[in-house]
Structure 1
Amino acid sequence: MSHPSPRPAQSAPSPSPDAAARRRIDRAAGELRRGDPVLLTLTTGAALLALAAEEAGGDGAQRLRRLAGGPPALTVTANRAAALGLQVPDGADAVDLRIASDTPERTAAALLALADPTAPAERSLPTVDRIEAAGPLGSRALSLTRLSRLLPAVLSVPVALDGGAAEAWAREHDLIHLAADDLAAAQAAAAADLHPVADARVPLAGAEDARVHAFRPRDGGPEHLAIVIGQPDTRQPVLVRLHSECFTGDLLGSLRCDCGDQLRGAIQTLAEAGGGVLLYLAQEGRGIGLVNKLRAYRLQDAGVDTLDANIALGFDADERVYLPAAGMLRQLGIAEVRLLTNNPDKLDALAACGIPVRARVPHAFPANGHNERYLATKAARFGHRFE
């Protein structure tokens, strides 16, 4: 049997924002990464000026005050607030923190210390004077920082605008204006709506009969890869490995994790089985990105385990989504799988995306002298099964 070729996805297309809205989202993400604020609005007329905390610089708080006419809050996730020892309002997924400081420069430094647990030690934590649940725009602003691969923390100020005046106000101040509802739609669409862009035969060490298929989300984000090994029989449940990219483990051979072993071991296992598919997902560090993973490593070196490190940075313990994996499998003509994994949660996650998992095939490797605590945490706190 020949290698499966991608075909149109069988699932119903997800609603997605138009091309103009997508361009605006991309530009907004770029503005945050460059240290510039963006204006977010709701159809109700509510408006919020947001600036990524880690890129705010010494004058960030002052810039927002000049533009919006009020002092900024620091909007963070409930996880980050809890890691700071603050009492999070019931049901809040994001909160606004307010502090008192005598100068804008000290305010900016103090807010960054609250946002980033790896900030230099000389940035002492300020006293939080008030904490309150953030509104929907605050939550959307944090979603945009995640999309921008930044810490989920923003300096934010509500802006009082007359109905329909947001676009003109943004143009007047040379700002990107983004409708928050477009952002939510874009994130859902990007996860589910992939299209094939290239494929080639790539002989691999341990699996010379291999072909790599690249799939790109419709928002132009990073590609996910499907590595088809051997001759998988798509009439039967196909042996599949879901592997999230790990620059440090896969490419550098880092001993802090078992990712490199799992990647190379999966390739060999799929080849020995006569065929299968390895999905290489662009979701570094359980979805928090490489830079934030390095921050998590700093926290781990200080004694925090891998789960609590993600929480301390303001993320969930695992930020990955598996809609891209399901979409690639469908386009490869694969309806059912046997999953090569030590993570039982992946079975439920893939099944929830419409791909039945008929069996879990164990996939574990011995510790190497550097990753014992990491593996123990995965077993004890993530429920991984190493047998």
Structure 2
Amino acid sequence: PSAAARLAAPLDRRQPRLSRSPPRRNPAGGRLASARKPGEQKHSKEPTSLQCMHLAVVACGDRLEETLIMLKSAVLFSNRRLCFHIFAEDSLKPEFEKKLKEWPSSYTKKFEYNIYPITFSVGNAQEWKKLFKPCAAQRLFLPVILKDVDSLLYVDTDVLFLRPIDDIWHILTEFNSTQLAAMAPEHEIPKIGWYSRFARHPYYGTTGVNSGVMLMNLTRIRSTQFKNNMIPSGLTWEEMLYPLYQKYKNYITWGDQDLLNIIFYFNPECLYVFPCQWNYRPDHCMYGSNCKGAEEEGVSILHGNRGVYHDDKQPTFKALYEVIRDFPFEDNLFQSLYYPLQSKFLDTVHTLCGRIPQVFLKQIEKTMKKVYENRVIVYLGANHRY
């Protein structure tokens, strides 16, 4: 049948029995993959402590400040060196460069960055650019564009790190031999989840997954043949994207996130699902607390979707954003970040999310304690030498 006929095939939530071609060896792998398949490249001989943790973000329109605050939270709390991959509209590039140069050297030495234009390697660029939010579909093309990067963490601009990126980066080592990406569920309770009630397309699991925080082993993504319901054989990631969009574009609501859900519906063995504290959103507390992992361990990564950093609907989320935004880089974390946060939280106790401040504070407390202990050890060690 023609390509048009294949794309016009009726939607079917049943998983087809398709053959999977053996993965091709990809010579463009990078340094950081873990739990590799046979034939994948080995780790660099560079010491683990010096290896770069790759963080990607896509910024368009008015997302400059949000993106900078997200990057600031990453640098404040992380231990190992970071490599930022910032995809931005041309007009934002000089603004990013200007603002990042203003950061003190004690922090700029902890990361390097590259700024890339918004580009889509297949299909209609204007269609991709307008899919859901401006430029959000760019994340689908990261495996194609960043050919020399082995693994990375992608986050939306409205994300804040409340603990070292090192900790979520470690999840890469927990992948089994078929897993190549990791995301959190879209919702914890199927009966009030969006996908389980309204989706008109296939989606992963019982509630779908949220793509605002996504770990990717790019080497594996580039070398895998993905099952699909368009042709009997597998397709590479790049081959699959545009036909998949054409098939489902009239049935998707959340753009690129819906496409990722469709991909992993047909390839569930490729996805690692991490718990909700790694992608904590207002939905986890505005209907009552429903993220057990955050209750036990605290929020690890905060995702302030729905614009909650910029309105008064969720003052707890807004308080965290403003305190990190206003924190002077070289000040004391306890005095200039933790205490202002506690003070702001007192004004949010009347809200559902504000009733559980310990959920938001627990990981920050642990991180600051480690920073303090490390400085004391360094100080005592220096004194001991003399």
Q: What TM bracket, shorter-length normalisation?
A: under 0.3
Normalised TM-score (structure 2): 0.21
Normalised TM-score (structure 1): 0.21
Larger Rg belongs to: 1
Where is the helix percentage greater, Structure 1 or Structure 2? 2
